[in-house]
Amino acid sequence: MAQLHSPAAAAHAPPPGTEQTQQYLTFSLGGEVFAIGILAIKEIIEYSSLTQVPMMPEYLRGVINLRGAVVPVVDLMVRFGKPPSQTTKRTCIVIVEIHSEGERHDVGVMVDGVNAVLEIPAKEIEPPPSFGARIRVDFIAGMAKVNGRFVILLNVEHILTFDEIQQLADVAVDQAAGESLAATEQAA
C-alpha cells in the first residue's frame, strides 16, 4: 500500500526501526470486512436468542447471560446507520471489552461471520479517510489493505460513548435483577 505523505500519516507511522505488528480479528458485516484489535476481544460465541429489552435504542438487539453476567448485544449494522443484520448460521457475537472513564464494560457485537485473526504491520495501516466512508469517521481507527482488499479497523472505544455504555450497563443490571427476582418467585 502506498504511504501517504501527510502530517496525519506521519503521526501514525512508528519511528524507524520500531516496526510493530498487531493482531486483529477480522469479520464480515454487510458485505464488508472489518477488524477489531485482538486485545479488545474477550471471546466469540455462537449467536443464540437474545432477551429483548423494551425502550432501548434500535442498535441494542438485546442482552445475553454470559456465565452469570448480563451482556448487552449491539447490532453494528444499525449502529452504522444501516438496516438491521439478518441472522444466519454464520452469525456470531464477539464479546469486546470497552474501557470508558476508568471502568471496564463487556459488550457483545453482532457480526455476520468471523473470518480470521491477522497480523497487520503498523506501516500497512493508514489513518481513517476524511470522506467517502460509509460509517462515521470516529468509529474508524484506520484502514489496512490485506490480500488486495481494504479492511476497516474499528475503534471500539468510540463506537459507544460513555453515556451509551452507562445506559447499557444500567439495563444489564436491571435485567439481571429482574431475572433473579423471577427465579426466586419460581422457586417459591
pLDDT tens for each residue of the chain, 188 residues long: 333 333 333 344 444 444 587 999 999 998 889 999 999 999 999 998 899 888 888 888 989 999 888 888 999 999 888 899 889 999 999 999 988 778 788 899 999 999 999 999 888 888 877 665 566 677 888 889 888 788 999 988 877 765 666 666 666 566 656 655 555 566 55
Beta carbons of 92 and 85 less than 8 angstroms apart: no
Fold of 7-183: OB fold (Dihydrolipoamide Acetyltransferase, E2P) (2.40.50)
Under DSSP, the state recorded for 176 is H
C-alpha cell at 64: 445475553
Where do the domains of the chain lie? Answer: 7-183
pLDDT given at position 131:
61
pLDDT given at position 100:
74
Range list of β-strands (E), the chain: 21-29, 32-37, 41-46, 60-66, 69-75, 92-100, 103-111, 113-121, 125-126, 140-146, 149-154
CB atoms within 10 A of CB 138: 12
pLDDT given at position 183:
55
pLDDT given at position 8:
38
pLDDT given at position 185:
61
pLDDT given at position 4:
33
40 CB contacts (<8 Å, ≥6 apart)? 96, 97, 98, 156
